[in-house]
Amino acid sequence: MDKSNSDVIVGTPGSIVYKTWRIKNTWDRSFPEDTKIVSVTKGLYVETPNRLPGPITPGTVLDVSLKIFIPDDTPPQDHMIMYVLRLFSDKLQCFGEPIVATIQMDKNIIQEAKRESI
């Protein structure tokens, strides 16, 4: 599996961010039909599809977008969070390389939000 994760998402506690990965099947066989993305990070709130659209045959490239909920209790000041997700099927369990969402808490956004709420 080949995937891209070249950018860091900027967010604030209590917000929703979106992340898209480009996933390529580099295997010599298709992914199982029940393949989905699951979180292996405790406390990750993410909206994922019930299963990836298939078939995902060798060489298939697929863009997968997820909605990630950043908890209100996330430390805000220049804190970086790494959430780890995996491809999963009933037969193979977790497979392929980890898929990582890196979120940087931006203190400038947080301070601006505080000023606007006053």
Distance CA 61, CA 57 (A): 9
Global pTM reads 0.79
Q: What is the mean pLDDT of the chain?
A: 84
- Percent above pLDDT 90 for the chain: 51
User: What average pLDDT does the segment 33-62 reach?
Assistant: 92
The domain spans of the chain are 2-117
CATH T-level topology, domain 2-117: Immunoglobulin-like (2.60.40)
Over 50: is that where the pLDDT of 59 sits?
yes
User: What average pLDDT does the segment 12-37 reach?
Assistant: 93
- The residue among 65, 50, 51 whose CA lies nearest residue 17 is 65
Name the pLDDT band for 91 (thresholds 50, 70, 90): very high
